Chains A and B, each alone.
Chain A
Amino acid sequence: AQSVTQLGSHVSVSEGALVLLRCNYSSSVPPYLFWYVQYPNQGLQLLLKYTSAATLVKGINGFEAEFKKSETSFHLTKPSAHMSDAAEYFCAVSDRGNQFYFGTGTSLTVIP
């Protein structure tokens, strides 16, 4: 069975500071891993995805995530936070059947 745990339902960072959003997964098969972003009253937009080609994955808006099999983690980072990064972030794991299992989300606040 697949599952995702996002540590910290709310994260606050200062503008220009490092963003670190944590995601740990559980999967009985090699996982497909994803990070999505959601702005208020909108759908989810794909930030990046892990496809086994490289453990460090670069996404849109300056975000990246590193797949660490030994730690079963896929944490999302960005070196310098912008005000426009304030949103809800979801980590997801997928099995080969294309079902997705989403974490409960992390709300990112950026303090000016």
Chain B
Amino acid sequence: DGGITQSPKYLFRKEGQNVTLSCEQNLNHDAMYWYRQDPGQGLRLIYYSQIVNDFQKGDIAEGYSVSREKKESFPLTVTSAQKNPTAFYLCASSIQSRTSRLDNEQFFGPGTRLTVL
């Protein structure tokens, strides 16, 4: 079955440590996204990538970094510079079609809940 996987489901980190969240998709989608979800704030875009080896900052990129070396993978690193990293992190992907309005929805992974101790 095609889909998006995120690992781990739950992650605990000590203050001052960097941690990397995994996101893999086998949908052959060009675009991938990382969102942060906090209670009452909806989804906020951290980074997105429309093509391999290219990515752009979203609304809250400070303290985060990403890479896109393969089409299938878009890992997110939460660095020690992120002042309040405890949150639910969601990865998504989409086809990135500019010609078809029917295929532009985003597909989401199950999420990773990060807690800083």
The chain A residues found within 8 Å of chain B, CB to CB, are 9, 32, 34, 36, 41-46, 49, 51-52, 90, 94, 96, 98-100, 102-105
Contact = CB atoms under 8 A, between A and B. Distances in A.
Which 10 residue pairs across A and B have the least CB separation, nearest first? Answer: A43-B108, A104-B42, A44-B108, A102-B43, A43-B110, A51-B101, A102-B42, A43-B111, A105-B42, A43-B109
Contact of B42 (A41, A46, A52, A90): A90
Nearest to B30: A98
A16 B101 CA distance: 34
Interface of B: 4, 6, 31, 33, 35, 40-43, 45, 48, 50, 88, 90, 92, 94, 96, 98, 101-102, 104-111, 113
Given A90-B42, A98-B31, A104-B41, A49 B105 contact: yes
A51 B102 contact: yes
Contacts, number: 52
9 contacts: A41-B88, A41-B111, A42-B110, A42-B111, A44-B90, A44-B106, A99-B45, A102-B42, A104-B42
A67 B50 CA distance: 28
Contacts of B42: 90, 102-105
